[in-house]
Amino acid sequence: MSQPLRALFVDAGPTGAGEPPRMRQGHPPVRSRPVDPARLKILVVGTPKTGNTWLKHLLGVVYELPIVEVDRRHDPAELARFGPRWIGQQHFDPSPALLDWGEREQVVFVAPVRHPGDVLVSLRHYMTNRRVAPTDNPLEPGIMLHDPSGEYGAHTRIFLRNGFPLLLHLSITWLRGGWAHSVRYEDLWQFPLATLGDLTDAILPVSGRTLQHAVCACEVDLMRATVNPSGDLVRKGGAGAWRQELPAAIKAQLATEEPYGDQFGALGFTMDENAPDNRRVAAPAVVENPFRGQGNFANGVPIAPLFFRIYFDLPLAQTARWPDATAVAAGSYYEWLRQPAAADPGAGRMTPVVTELAMCLRDRRPDLREAFADPFGADRLRFCHWFVFNAVSEFQFDRSFTLPVLGSWARG
């Protein structure tokens, strides 16, 4: 990279009584020019099982970025096909070719970190749930599967001696080089709004409402139900599970063998089970969520991701009427989406009906505003045709939201 490199570590000593030093953001990666919102590309990199999937979805919601599947091979031609704005994840090494490409394309790299004990526990559960075939390669985590189910035995110790330090090295090298933004999984779990806000302030600042929207839309329970029902990518979450799950021999190995002392120090963690930072925190932070962590309205109709964004973009005075955004009774948010648009001077007299949802969709896209410049007049029929026949697939919401329009058309 042509710009000077700046380490992301601030060795300021303990951050509070009884707390170990943490890997802090300190300074964001040095950029040769500001991030362009119209060309924002984010690549989540670093050690597996540190919250990569959760962070990808959170930032995707914050910046309204399409989520893309990045191949394990770094192919700039493939990545160029994704367009100017996207977010993806892959466990890349910070190779010179990747860094040069990132500099040219102004890609934002983010490397989450997590307590290595929890990384090990999550990695083992992931391979078991995925039914990964055991391997004899000591560098591969699949060697742990030779241990009986639920046990961390001799084969796990082989992996800890050989392959696991390389996985931890992945996030460390990204952050030590100053090429990626850092976010600590435990902080994101316990203080999601503040932690996500610190990260987005370093990338592109957003409003508090946008942060709340992202945290609500990406609640772990909701993501398990909608994004990853199998539970192999999004499992239980939480911090400190290693204290109960790992046997004494594995804990001792992590506490005493090289290079774990240096790696734990770099990452800002310890194996001290009495340290406040290592307490078990199973439940995520309680964030006021009008959607109650549900994936459906009370009548079973799926809540499309877009409906979260629409809700949090509305004025607080309006959404205060809907403390339970999943309700479907008269006056609910659900019924508001389906009702005739208040801005329509012909509402109740002109058919077909233009709904509040239809207008929200139009207002979100410049191409729709241009195509349907007069939605309540000359473009009413074309606009309603688009809403009934195209909007469902383009915005991925349930077809039941088109029924008021079709009903009004039938009544004439």
For residues 312 and 212, the answer to whether their CB atoms sit within 8 Å is yes
H-type alpha helices, 106-235: 116-129, 154-162, 164-176, 185-190, 192-203, 208-217, 220-226
Q: Burial level of 379, CB count in 10 A (0-12/13-18/19+)?
A: middle
Identity of the amino acid at 265: G
On whether both 336 and 247 belong to a single domain, the answer is no
Are residues 239 and 139 part of one domain? yes
Question: Are 262 and 324 found together in one domain?
Answer: no
Domain containing 244 — which CATH number? 3.40.50.300
pLDDT of residue 224: 57
Q: Same structural domain for residues 104 and 228?
A: yes
Residue type, 198: D
Q: What are phi and psi of 258, to 5 degrees?
A: -70, 150
Residue 336 predicted with pLDDT over 50: yes
Pair 129, 266 in one domain: yes
Average pLDDT (76-102) is: 91
- Does a structural domain hold residue 26? no
Give the torsion sign (CA, 170, 175, 180, 186).
positive
Q: Give the torsion through C-alpha atoms of 326, 283, 182, 264, to 10 deg.
A: -170
| Structural contact between residues 263 and 168, judged by C-beta atoms closer than 8 angstroms | yes
Quote the CA–CA distance of 274 and 187 in Å, as a whole number.
18
Cβ neighbourhood burial of 239 (10 Å; 0-12, 13-18, 19+): buried
Query: Which phi and psi (to 5°) does residue 386 adopt?
Result: -60, -45
Q: Quote the pLDDT of residue 136.
A: 94
Mark whether 241 and 323 lie in a shared domain. no
3-state secondary structure of 98: helix
Phi, psi (degrees; rounded to nearest 5) at 239: -130, 145
**Could you tell me if residue 145 is inside a domain?**
yes
* 19 within domain boundaries: no
Same structural domain for residues 122 and 264? yes
Is the predicted pLDDT of residue 245 greater than 80, yes or no? yes
Q: Report whether 412 contacts 351 (CB < 8 A).
A: yes
What total of structural domains would you count in the chain? 2
Q: What are phi and psi of 111, to 5 degrees?
A: -125, 105
pLDDT digits (tens, 9 = 90+) for 152-187: 999 999 999 999 999 999 999 999 999 999 999 999
Tell me phi and psi for residue 401, to 5 degrees.
-75, -10
Asked whether the beta carbons of 182 and 6 are under 8 A apart, the reply is: no
Phi/psi region, residue 362 (left: phi>0; alpha: psi -120 to 50; beta: rest), is alpha
- Residues 318 and 277: their CA atoms lie apart, in Å, by 40
d(CA 71, CA 354): 42
- Residue 322's domain spans which residues? 305-411
Residues 256-282, mean pLDDT to the nearest whole number: 94
Asked whether residue 57 falls in the same domain as residue 166, the answer is yes
60 and 115 fall within a common domain: yes
Place 359 in a pLDDT band, splitting at 50, 70 and 90: very high
SS3 assignment, position 86:
strand
pTM for the model stands at 0.81
Digit-coded pLDDT (tens) for 385-403: 999 999 999 999 999 999 9
Going across the sheet that includes 41-44, the strands are 86-89, 41-44, 108-113, 181-184
Tell me: pLDDT of 77 over 50.
Answer: yes
186, 242, 369, 407 from 176: Cα distances, Å: 20, 26, 46, 61
